[in-house]
Chains A and B, each alone.
Chain A
Amino acid sequence: MDLKYVGKDIPRVDAYEKVTGTTKYMSDLSFDGMLWGKVLRSIHPHALIKSIDTSKAKALPGVEAVVTWEDVPGLNGFGIAIQDQPVLCKDKVRYAGDAVAAVAAVSKEIAEEAALLIEVEYEVLPVVDDPIRAIEPDSPKVHESGNILLHTEIRKGDIDKGFDEADLIIENTYYASRQEHAFLETEDGIALIEEDGTLTVYAGSHYPHRDQLQLSRCLNMPVEKIRVVSSPVGGAFGGKDELTIQPIMALLALKTGKPVKMVMPREESIISYWKRHPMIMIYRTGVKRDGTLVANDVKVYADTGAYASLGGPILNLALESSCGLYRIPHVHIDGYSVYTNNGISGAFRGFGVPQVTFAMESQMDIIAEKLGLDPIEFRRKNILKKGEVAPIGHHITTDVESEAVLDAMEGSRLWRERERYRGTDKNRPWIKRGVGLALSWQGMGLGVGLPDFGDAVIEMDPDGGFIVRVGCVEIGQGAMTVYAQVAAEALRFPIERIRVVIGDTRNAPDAGPTTASRAAYVGGKAIFLAAEEMNEKIKGYASGMLSVSPDEIEIDDGSAYVKTAKDKRVSYEEISSYAIERGGLPVAEGHFDLPTADKAIEGAFGLPHHIYSCCGQIAAVEVNTLTGQARVTDGAVVVDAGTVINQGGLEGQSEGGFVMGTGYALTEDLIIENGVVKTPNFSTYIIPTSKDMPSSIETIPVTNYESTGPFGAKGIGEIGMVPTAPAVTNAIYDAADIRVFKIPATGERIYELLKQKKGENK
């Protein structure tokens, strides 16, 4: 097929507004008579609430409402998977940052002052802060049900036999830190009551329809009476998947009848909301002398913090990818997601997979070196292909371009020329350089057993253009542009005359969450299907207007014509007038069910996935052995993308992912001690700046047509950051001969490792 829009260099449809600052994010909105909301949060990581006295706050002039748990009309609990997080705590707080009460006042300052006037009496409880200790039966309990949110055990083959067959067994423990999403826009928005008594909530999030459902439960209000607008989002990376400020703003709006706005200050955002799960990962991997993997025993402890949210599914996705994309006959995987008082962990780009990939891909490099094998050869020898059995026991039935990705890595400039990047700096011999790589895979979509679908609607407008409606959100990734491209291609219609409406429960149908790398894939596919229906309708009208049968009609570039007589044609403007006369403009719907696996893995909810993406990365690193600091100087990202719909968008995701992964590898660490956040701002929580960027990041797509996706596309939103950390730490090993088991590999940590090694060599 000749493509006009898909795969073409189409500028972002929202670029002009964004670079000129005219885009209105939810935090930019304001309404007449608007109040400001402020949350009173617990300063204790773990405590019983003995009493809450709001009288002084209520008496402060300018205060219009103070709410506590008593004001929650419905279920005082939310959570995507398990609703165990109170909107406002009643008798117990479980992390420092837990919401206890909230105020609406005529100014931000008064709201802040009032919040401080709320008197809460606490009885402090012991802090549960070590996930391994927390699962012991005598540990203090975060929830009455116990501290284990989820325990998943998966066995394949006979692990003991596997280790018996192994010539080499490598055992190590890895630690991955707690990562902050660091989106530009914090959790901000407005809730208001419309004239007809319905509630509208404007707040950036991944999934307006689920926010609507959760709000309906908490507020005891029918979903039809709640409208959620959650797009455009000023960045989220998973951090706005779960509810944040929405239910509290809604309570305040309901109570006052006025619009209530909240904007989280950065520190409150960092302290109070979601983070990537820190994980402790104990790996024991057995291999034969010839490099055949035979056994992998994996134990994972994920610190999910105070509430469930997506802690369970994140653990399971991590476990699915925990053995890498390799053929391993004997596997034992044992994972725990554990409640603690360490803030709250939730969804974050990669959804548990970056952590286990760090562990597994470090194991792979350690083994390759011990056996004297080239790291790519060793991976190739064990790589899983379509039709084979994955480590958790299911067959891979779709294309995962594992071999093509390895080939592209091997052929990349950075790998071919790696000798140029390696070795000791001549003039500054304390600078050591090295190159490392890592491979990753990740399931796309929500997994087996979960409703996973997308709806889209296409309407012709009176001028003969189109409105495309789909519920996913523009989160900065470029979804609107991809949707416009897919619609233009499928409708064979000029892209400038297509308007995309997304992220609004009233104006766009439910297309599922903008997560799990699924928005372009599912939303795009639903649009494609709607477009096919629309094309049929157009052909129907044209056939009536031109008095030929519909099969004789062809459409292109905004007009419909008779195949055999091209000058017999009608424009879409004419079709729209014709349709209006006959009862209304055409509307078409597309519904797409994401294909899922036909057999579930026992005891591992959501597993397996059906479609996988695969990504390999290479990093060139220099280590200053005098300071321990490592710097990533170059990178290459090979990604199994299916058809590339928008090259700029792909590069944005892969470069952004690589840089985010670099921060994860080297500096980012949300430190919590005794339940208290020690790095609550960007002066102490260190994300990379433009001066920390590598000098180049090459994006190399592997473009095998994914038959289920729109025009053959696959999701790539998360995988770009998944293998970065091990690529970087493997490069550090190559450079300086030290093995990093704990990320981030800060200057001080690397320096300590260098010292240890020096000591050993003496």
Chain B
Amino acid sequence: MKEFDYFRPSSLDECLKLLDQMRGRARILAGGTDLLVRLKHDMIREDNIVDIGRLDELHGVHVDGGDVHIAPLTTHNEIVESGLCDEVPVLKKACAQVGSPQIRNRGTIGGNVVNASPAGDTIPALSVHGAHVKLKSIDGERTIPIEELFTGPGRTAMRDNEILVDIVVPTIANGEIGFFKKLGQRNAMAISIVNIAVILSMNRSSKIIERAAVAVGSAAPTVIRCIEVENLMAGSRIDSAERLWEIAMKIRDRVSPISDVRASARYRAEMSANLFYEGMLELGVI
């Protein structure tokens, strides 16, 4: 492991100044569950580590208007246990499936997002919830849709002096239902072969879907929204398993996964469809 200088700012302002001074030469440390693995494998270019663990203003959940604000240092377990996060149920389900109790106690949602792994479990969930991320630097702040944050595997649109300060997740509307599913090689401590998040607003009695959001992870360089599938479902009713298959196949055609030791690209593509199919049946859409 290489040597680095370690900073632990005690206020966000101090942190922003530090980041600005060390543009591109500093790496933020939150829970460290991703960063430390990389540090150990000498995969980190930067020589300075900025530990944001003491910045209380970046921690916690609150509701404002129709949005749940999740500060980036909030851990997966805190989200799982937060009553306020009942309003963002698909995200809650995703957080509950991250790693293991130890990882969920240590790993933060901000780390999961900025890490920008194609397999990051909270990302498809945040996408279907319509989440935005707020980025801040000494120059000011900006808020962008979560999908726009990602430019490639492990790459984000963040500027080299910016920090993620808030994740804004609209609360789920009345009558909306959804699911998060991940397929890993085992039931815990598993990196997703594929994961999928879906939110539907569906009329309970007529089963007509008014609006749908579908996001798939680990099946392309970044999370993908399946707009065609969403449009296909909007305003219609899925009246048979055959019809559901047809829709699922569109997801398979939309993804562009890679092959690695965990799974082949072909399997990943088929699983993106099959997880969708399974999740929709479990939701009772037919």
Among A393-401, A589-597, A743-751, the stretch in contact with B? A743-751
Among B186, B264, B274, B282, the residue within 8 A (CB) of A689 is B186
CA distance A316 to B270 in the complex (A): 43
Asked whether A691 lies within 8 Å of B264 as measured between CB atoms, the reply is: no
Of the listed residues B183, B261, B264, the one surrounded by the most CB atoms of chain A closer than 10 A to its CB is: B261
Among A3-11, A94-102, A679-687, the stretch in contact with B? A679-687
Q: Does A16 contact B (CB under 8 A)?
A: no
B188-212 to A contact mask, C-beta < 8 Å, 1/0? 1111010000000000000000000
Of the four ranges (under 10, 10 to 19, 20 to 34, 35 or more), the interface on chain A belongs to 20 to 34
CA distance A109 to B40 in the complex (A): 12
Asked whether A626 lies within 8 Å of B262 as measured between CB atoms, the reply is: no
Asked whether B282 lies within 8 Å of A691 as measured between CB atoms, the reply is: no
- The residue on B at minimum CB distance from A744 is B185
CA distance A471 to B216 in the complex (A): 57
CA distance A428 to B277 in the complex (A): 12
CA distance A621 to B275 in the complex (A): 20
Known: A692-B186, A751-B270. A430 touches B278 (CB 8 A): yes
- The residue on A at minimum CB distance from B181 is A627
| Distance in Å: Cβ of B268 to nearest Cβ of chain A | 9
Q: Does B263 contact A (CB under 8 A)?
A: yes
Asked whether B185 lies within 8 Å of A667 as measured between CB atoms, the reply is: yes
B15-34 to A contact mask, C-beta < 8 Å, 1/0? 00000000000000000000
CA distance A682 to B271 in the complex (A): 23
Of the four ranges (under 10, 10 to 19, 20 to 34, 35 or more), the interface on chain B belongs to 20 to 34
Known: A430-B278, A748-B264. A627 touches B191 (CB 8 A): no
Known: A684-B262, A689-B100. A626 touches B274 (CB 8 A): yes
Q: Does A225 contact B (CB under 8 A)?
A: no
Asked whether B188 lies within 8 Å of A746 as measured between CB atoms, the reply is: no
CB interface residues, A 640-688, toward B, < 8 Å: 667, 671, 678-679, 682-684, 686, 688
CA distance A132 to B197 in the complex (A): 46
Residues of B within 8 A of A109 (CB): 1
B248-286 to A contact mask, C-beta < 8 Å, 1/0? 000000000000011110010011001101100110000
Known: A627-B183, A689-B187. A748 touches B267 (CB 8 A): yes
CA distance A684 to B262 in the complex (A): 7
Known: A627-B275, A684-B261, A684-B262. A691 touches B267 (CB 8 A): no
| Distance in Å: Cβ of A89 to nearest Cβ of chain B | 26
- The residue on A at minimum CB distance from B271 is A627
CA distance A747 to B263 in the complex (A): 9
CA distance A224 to B139 in the complex (A): 74
A687-708 to B contact mask, C-beta < 8 Å, 1/0? 0111110000000000000000
Asked whether B278 lies within 8 Å of A748 as measured between CB atoms, the reply is: no
Known: A626-B277, A748-B267. A691 touches B188 (CB 8 A): yes
CA distance A498 to B115 in the complex (A): 56
Asked whether A692 lies within 8 Å of B187 as measured between CB atoms, the reply is: yes
CA distance A684 to B1 in the complex (A): 21
Residues of A within 8 A of B190 (CB): 686
Q: Does A577 contact B (CB under 8 A)?
A: no
Residues of A within 8 A of B281 (CB): 428
Among B1, B183, B191, the residue within 8 A (CB) of A629 is B183
| Distance in Å: Cβ of B41 to nearest Cβ of chain A | 9
| Distance in Å: Cβ of B257 to nearest Cβ of chain A | 13
Asked whether A683 lies within 8 Å of B278 as measured between CB atoms, the reply is: no
| Distance in Å: Cβ of B242 to nearest Cβ of chain A | 15
Residues of B within 8 A of A626 (CB): 274-275, 277-278
Residues of B within 8 A of A748 (CB): 263-264, 267
Residues of B within 8 A of A679 (CB): 261
Asked whether B278 lies within 8 Å of A667 as measured between CB atoms, the reply is: no
Among B186, B191, B275, the residue within 8 A (CB) of A688 is B186
CA distance A688 to B185 in the complex (A): 9
Known: A428-B282, A626-B277, A751-B270. A689 touches B188 (CB 8 A): yes
Asked whether B100 lies within 8 Å of A747 as measured between CB atoms, the reply is: no
CA distance A64 to B13 in the complex (A): 48
CB interface residues, B 58-82, toward A, < 8 Å: none
CA distance A49 to B193 in the complex (A): 40
- The residue on A at minimum CB distance from B3 is A109
Known: A748-B263, A748-B264, A748-B267. A686 touches B274 (CB 8 A): no
Among B1, B186, B277, B278, the residue within 8 A (CB) of A691 is B186
Residues of A within 8 A of B278 (CB): 428, 430, 624, 626-627
Residues of A within 8 A of B191 (CB): 683
Residues of B within 8 A of A746 (CB): 185
Known: A627-B274, A751-B270. A690 touches B261 (CB 8 A): no
CB interface residues, A 95-117, toward B, < 8 Å: 109
Residues of B within 8 A of A678 (CB): 261
CA distance A684 to B37 in the complex (A): 14
Asked whether B183 lies within 8 Å of A686 as measured between CB atoms, the reply is: no
Known: A626-B277, A671-B261. A751 touches B267 (CB 8 A): yes
Residues of B within 8 A of A684 (CB): 261-262
Residues of B within 8 A of A691 (CB): 186-188
Residues of A within 8 A of B188 (CB): 689-692
| Distance in Å: Cβ of B261 to nearest Cβ of chain A | 5
CA distance A692 to B187 in the complex (A): 6
| Distance in Å: Cβ of B86 to nearest Cβ of chain A | 24
- Besides A627-B271, A751-B270, 15 other CB < 8 A contacts? A428-B278, A428-B281, A430-B278, A626-B278, A627-B278, A667-B186, A678-B261, A683-B191, A686-B190, A689-B100, A689-B188, A691-B187, A691-B188, A692-B186, A746-B185
Between-chain CB contacts (< 8 Å), 27 pairs: A109-B1, A624-B278, A626-B274, A626-B275, A626-B277, A626-B278, A627-B183, A627-B271, A627-B274, A627-B278, A629-B183, A667-B185, A667-B186, A678-B261, A679-B261, A683-B191, A684-B261, A684-B262, A690-B188, A691-B186, A691-B187, A691-B188, A747-B267, A748-B263, A748-B264, A748-B267, A751-B270
Q: Which residues of A contact B (CB under 8 A)?
A: 109, 428, 430, 624, 626-627, 629, 631, 667, 671, 678-679, 682-684, 686, 688-692, 746-748, 751
The 5 A-B residue pairs whose C-beta atoms are closest, nearest first, are A691-B187, A691-B188, A626-B274, A748-B267, A689-B188
